[in-house]
Amino acid sequence: MSRYWGMNIIINGSFVRTQFEDPLPTMGPPNVLEDYRANPQADRYEFVTQEVIRKIAGTQVGGPWIGSINSRAHQIVSILPLNERAIGETSTVAKDTAASARPGVGTGVFIWYDPFTWAGSAMKMSIDPQNHFKQDDVLFHEFVHALLMMHGLDFSTPIAGWHRVSELYAIMLTNIYNSSNNRNSDLRADHDLSFHVLPKSFLRPTEQQDDEFFYNNNQTDIDRLCGSSLQTLCNTLADVQCKWNPLGVRKRKAKHPSARAY
């Protein structure tokens, strides 16, 4: 039995995507195999995942984002489990890859996500020993990808440090989400699976790179997002008052082109 959040978000824990080592001996490192197994913890998975969504929905950034997902007609977000070994497969997958990159068209998506893995598991701590990743920001990151795909904005243009433009968007928006929740020490610097904290400023080496620096370095891509069908949502998030918000920088610069961000 699935759980729901609004019209478009379904949590279905019935089968778990499972990675494991090949039990047959081989030369060299063991092969990693994958299959799908009935999930005896389906109810627990669905309940805990729903509680993570509840936490996201109660925030200044997550609330409007989830509201936008649920306002998209005829496009479903299905959240599905995977085991701890498969942590690297945490991801959002378009049901129609071509439509996910066609602005104004878009597609429904699958999100592979396990809240238990991101709550302090051994695999999680191996890539994030300082415990920057949390259950909610990991799922919010995937919700960013989901909404981009639903609007046909899953841009795959390569970009240094982020792999592709849509990852720049997902990490920027997740950083805004974290900053708005007073988690400014959990701002992410790149798209590596291992967590790297946003680096220090060149001009102020005792401080993190600020949101104005980030906006200036990525202005073309950020302006493209803010001029898309997500323009209203971007304007809403630009008004969120927090320490790190490049969308807010953009909005202030538009009003006062010669002014620095504050």
Distance CA 137, CA 29 (A): 33
Q: Record the tokens describing residue 50, joined without a space.
A: 């729903």
What is the band of 222 on the pLDDT scale with cuts at 50, 70, 90? Answer: very high
DSSP classification of residue 28 = S
pLDDT at 261 over 50: no
| Share of residues in the chain with pLDDT > 90 (%) | 83
Chain segment 147-183, per-residue pLDDT in tens: 999 999 999 999 988 999 999 999 999 999 999 999 9
Q: What's the mean per-residue pLDDT of the chain?
A: 92
Inter-residue contact 10 to 77 (CB < 8 Å)? yes
**Per-residue confidence (pLDDT) for residue 260, from 0 to 100:** 52
Report the candidate in 196, 239, 249 with the shortest Cα–Cα distance to residue 219.
Answer: 249
Q: Record the tokens describing residue 70, joined without a space.
A: 């649920």
**Per-residue confidence (pLDDT) for residue 262, from 0 to 100:** 41
Which range has the worst mean pLDDT, 35-49, 228-242, 246-260?
Answer: 246-260
**Residue position matching structure tokens 């809240």:** 115
